Amino acid sequence: MKIQDFRFKLLIIFFLSISIGVQGQKKHEGIEKDFFPFSVWYSGGKARAPMLSEITNNSEEEWRIDLQQIKNLGFNTVRTWVEWANCEPEPGNYNFDNLNLLLKLANEVGLRVFIQIYVDSAPDWVAHNHPHALFEAQSGDKVHPQSAPGACIDNKAIEDAILNFYSETAKVASQYPNFFGWDLWSEPHVINWASLDYIPNVQFCFCDGTRSRFREWLKNKYSSLDNLNTAWYRNFKEWDQVDPPRFSTILSYTDFIDWKTFIYEKLEEDMAARYKAIRSVDKTHLITAHAVGASLFQSPHVGAGATDDFLMARPLDYYGVSLYPKHNNPNQAWSVTTLRTVMDFIRSANRENGGWYVGELQAGLGTVALQVSDPVTS
């Protein structure tokens, strides 16, 4: 794909707004203190994230032309991605050909590379080999993935497979001198990339793995079943009788608060596990992730699983945010006040990290089918 001029194409531009060396941040010797990465989204060919283009005999020449054009336009970094569904077609059989080629060519033209990891779409063998780990709604409906949304990480087999994928990716990327850093999780939720509108008021996840993990969380909080019964206004006799609430009642609301607090803390723990998986291989490069928008504006009742930016920032070097001022609907453009509030909230969530970054930044117009938004012009 020859790129004529990025300025006249719909792009999502990614840049890091990082204050490296500010007091209070995590310190890693390998992080470059004088490099400010300004990047454009590109993985080679015409594929859009999170998908990957098939490598052909012409890929090397075509990708080199694209990367040189990116360099000529003033970018110093490419933000690329790896996707679990494509890169591990069989258990333990990893295919990082796209990543290797991109890193090699970017190095030749003088571009750094920042890697986004996607595990929200899973290889088909995941659901086939681990049907017990399918996402389950409060209704009991199990979600049979169409690549997305994969399976629930609260099941040991899925957690191991996901974290192994992170570690294997790190083994490849860390070999290249132009590799700069990581984004571990784009817009974290319990479940992503699935429009399950056939289930009313859908909430996740109620699989055996999540229910078991919730019980362990409750044991840690309440110490005894008697204490839980008092707080919840219940009379459980055994811990295995305890389940997450699936609907509201006129009685105690403590069960709902506990369930949603658990979701917040579980997602932080899941982020920390990803961080640890990368750090087990890569001791030096920058590690980030980014939110869909400030959690200030996100209800804890979000069925896909709401996050707390202050919690999600804790395990990371920096936590970021997606900024789509006009997104894909001309009637839903962000006000300047909203934009400023989102950025300041993310900055506040990173106060212990000494910096923050923009994970996704809209450039140009946004579209969904025939619906076209007004373009971002400055």
Q: Work out the pLDDT band at 370, boundaries 50, 70, 90.
A: confident
Please report the domains of the chain, with CATH numbers, ordered by start residue: 6-194+263-372 (3.20.20.80)
Answer yes or no: is pLDDT of 378 > 90: no
pLDDT tens by residue, 140-163 = 999 999 999 999 999 999 999 999
pLDDT tens by residue, 88-128 = 999 999 999 999 999 999 999 999 999 999 999 999 999 99
Q: Decide: 43 and 146 in contact? Cβ < 8 Å.
A: no
Query: For residues 254 and 251, what is the distance between their CA atoms, to the nearest angstrom?
Result: 9
pLDDT, mean of residues 363-369: 74
pLDDT in the model for residue 10 = 34
pLDDT in the model for residue 19 = 40
pLDDT in the model for residue 267 = 98
pLDDT in the model for residue 296 = 93
pLDDT in the model for residue 252 = 86
pLDDT tens by residue, 250-278 = 888 999 999 999 999 999 999 999 999 99
Query: For residues 180 and 201, what is the distance between their CA atoms, to the nearest angstrom?
Result: 41
pLDDT, mean of residues 128-133: 98
pLDDT in the model for residue 55 = 97
What is the pLDDT of the chain when averaged over all its residues? 90
pLDDT tens by residue, 18-61 = 443 333 445 555 566 688 899 999 999 999 889 999 999 999 99
CA distances from 248 to 137, 208, 241, 256, 302 (A): 15, 21, 18, 8, 15
How many residues are recorded in the chain?
Answer: 378
pLDDT tens by residue, 281-340 = 999 999 999 999 899 999 999 999 999 999 999 999 999 999 888 777 767 788 889 989
Amino acid at 33: K
pLDDT tens by residue, 60-88 = 999 999 999 999 999 999 999 999 999 99
In Å, the largest CA–CA distance within the chain is 69
Answer yes or no: is pLDDT of 9 > 60: no
pLDDT in the model for residue 215 = 99
Q: Which of 46, 132, 117, 121 is nearest to 85 (CA)?
A: 121
Q: Decide: 290 and 359 in contact? Cβ < 8 Å.
A: yes
Pick from 12-16, 36-40, 133-137: least confident: 12-16
